[in-house]
Amino acid sequence: MQTIHPERLGQYISTTFGGETVRSLLPPPLPPVPPLRLDRMQALLEQANLSLGRLDGLAAILPDLPLFLYAYVRKEAVLSSQIEGTQSSLSDLLMFEHSDAPGVPTDDVQEVSNYVAALTFGMKRLKEGFPLSLRLIREIHGVLLAEGRGSDRAPGEFRRSQNWIGGTRPGNAAYVPPPAENVIECMGALEQFLHGEGPDMPVLIRAGLAHVQFESIHPFLDGNGRLGRLLITFLLCARGALREPILYLSLYLKTHRPVYYDLLTRVRQTGDWEAWLDFFLLAVKETSEQAVASAHRILALLEKDRKRVESIGRQASSALRVFHYLQTHPVTSLAVTARETGITFPTASKCMDQLRALEIVTEMTGKKSGRLFFYKDYVGILSEGTEPLAATA
């Protein structure tokens, strides 16, 4: 039987929507009252902090950090969008980003591409010294919904009407967030919490609380889930727990979706923040460890393949240039490769043939012209866990 914490429960507000009475939840401001029982999760908190520190330390010594940021950002974008129902794969996104790639499903992959742009924009603003504020959250949301699906859902603006989660209307929804007139008040309180000080609130605990609170407020008409997950990364970077946005929890949340949603509901219905934080800290720990392991696998692959390219002999110089370009553009065409690496088209074609012979790259189209090539083993590592949800259900 679940313990209910009455002091932590929100206030239900009755409103009328579509001719029926709707009960929407006004969540109490953070931090929870009574205070969290951090003693019971101290060991897990220490493990999560240690794993996160190792990941942050790895980012500091990686020989080509932008390469890994490129990879991780795109993987997270695919996974976070899949949780919201898109069916794009990582390969779809990589092809979409390549102007010569035909036939990519535009709606879903545009949504994923917007996520990449939103994360990039938000990190740029933070590094310029802009605080993680309501203004920045709205700006990031504007980028997230700038194009494609959701672009007609008031990008960059807090909602002015009632929304809901699950069901066809608020009356049969799984959850109804606060009325629109309470959104600014709730988000203002959340902003104060984001900037709160105090030695009794570790940054991971603050991030875990903020994520659920944002999801409970659901301040936008669309894009709340994706932005709520981005908020975790932004907060960790803004408060110095990470130097770069290299922690992404969406694979863990995708894998444990039923538990994730159940714990969000438990917080709202019983005030059990501790159960959610146990899950969140375990997600941070395991995700950090997986990210470190993937980085080492990618480093080993790049080193192995670099030596294979060098074995070509006198012609290795141009092939190495193409190989290096593939690391940040794992889907490419001959024309783009030639232009971006500064070599001639015939040289690019010859280099790509050499990389194909080494089984480093694979041609995707099967055509004689307009061919596309991808760095198969590298994309393979990145793609682990990014199969569309329909295929993994």
Q: Are 302 and 327 in contact (CB under 8 A)?
A: yes
Q: Which tokens is 190 given?
A: 């959340």
CA gap 212, 75 in Å, rounded: 23
Closest to 163 in 3D by CA, of 5, 343, 25: 25
Task: Give the tens place of pLDDT for each residue, 146-186.
Answer: 987 778 889 999 999 999 999 899 989 999 999 999 999 99
Closest to 349 in 3D by CA, of 380, 327, 324, 319: 319
Contacts for 102 with CB less than 8 Å, ≥ 6 apart: none
Rounded to two decimals, the pTM is: 0.89
Task: Give the tens place of pLDDT for each residue, 211-263.
Answer: 999 999 999 999 999 999 999 999 999 999 998 888 889 889 989 999 999 99
Task: Give the tens place of pLDDT for each residue, 297-310.
Answer: 988 999 999 999 99
CA gap 226, 133 in Å, rounded: 17
Q: How many CB atoms lie within 10 A of CB 106?
A: 15
Lowest-pLDDT range of 168-177, 193-202, 370-379, 380-389 = 380-389
The confidence band for 1, taking pLDDT boundaries of 50, 70 and 90, is low
Q: Are 214 and 227 in contact (CB under 8 A)?
A: yes
List the beta bridge partners of residue 14. 23
Mean pLDDT for 131-152 is 92
What's the pLDDT at 53? 95
Contacts for 375 with CB less than 8 Å, ≥ 6 apart: 326, 327, 330, 360, 361
CA gap 249, 270 in Å, rounded: 25
Domains of the chain by start residue, with CATH: 6-294 (1.10.3290.10), 311-382 (1.10.10.10)
CA gap 277, 209 in Å, rounded: 8
Contacts for 309 with CB less than 8 Å, ≥ 6 apart: 316, 319, 320, 323, 354, 355, 358, 360
Burial 153-172 (b: 16+ CB within 10 A, else e): ebbbebbeebbbbeeeebee
Handedness of CA 208, 214, 215, 216 (dihedral sign): positive
What's the pLDDT at 91? 74
